[in-house]
Amino acid sequence: MIIKFTLNNMKKNLDADPSEKLSDVLRDDFGLLSVNSCCNTGRCGGCTVLKDNLPVPACMVRMFSVRNSSILTYEYISTTTEFTSIIKVLEAMGCNFCDFCKHGKIITIYSLVQSGVQLTEKDVYEALSGNICNCTDFHSMAAGVRLIVNTIKRGKRAERR
Ligand code: FES
Ligand code: FES
């Protein structure tokens, strides 16, 4: 089945099995190895990508549902200016992520930043609840995420003046 979709802002027509997992296609057909294949059951968040700007575990997405949608992976997100701001603030807050969770967490944080809404600590907690990690100080991370969102919002307001 030919599946048309956008991958990292480029149009694709892929002949794929509609029941195949998006995570396998991204890794095997496109060499996007930032998409980790860990639990393969939707529980760890290691394979998180943005599907139509929402974070989803790619191992739970079948190719038939990718038709006409937009998929963004860490490879694309790491080229954005928001990414640079996210990394700077997280490093300043002492949040260093391991290779197991880093890509998925950054993608989720990027989507929060993109939403541009005022976030509470609970919002950040809920958004990141799909990205399993017991080793980062959550309060520092939540403070960092809220700081990034507010900094980027202030920057956009200043641009408009
Ligand atoms: S590999 Fe997809 S959520 Fe764990
Ligand atoms: S820092 Fe990666 S799992 Fe906790």
Could you tell me the CATH number of the domain that includes residue 81?
Answer: 1.10.150.120
Q: What is the DSSP letter of 129?
A: G
Q: Which residues contact 80 (CB under 8 A, 6 or more apart)?
A: 110
- The verdict on 54 and 22 lying in the same domain is yes
* Ligand 2 pocket residue status of 97, Cβ below 6 Å: yes
> 49 and 75 in contact (C-beta within 8 Å)?
no
pTM: 0.91
Q: Which residues contact 122 (CB under 8 A, 6 or more apart)?
A: none
User: What integer is the mean pLDDT of 43-55?
Assistant: 96
- The verdict on 29 and 66 lying in the same domain is yes
Q: What is the DSSP letter of 62?
A: B
* Count of the separate structural domains present in the chain: 2
* Ligand 2 pocket residue status of 138, Cβ below 6 Å: no
- The verdict on 57 and 106 lying in the same domain is no
Q: Which residues contact 61 (CB under 8 A, 6 or more apart)?
A: 21, 22, 23, 51
Question: Mind listing the pLDDT tens digit for each residue in 92-141?
Answer: 888 888 988 999 999 999 999 888 788 888 888 899 989 988 888 888 88
Ligand nearest to the CA of 59: 1
Measure 151 CA to ligand 1 centroid, in angstroms. Answer: 31
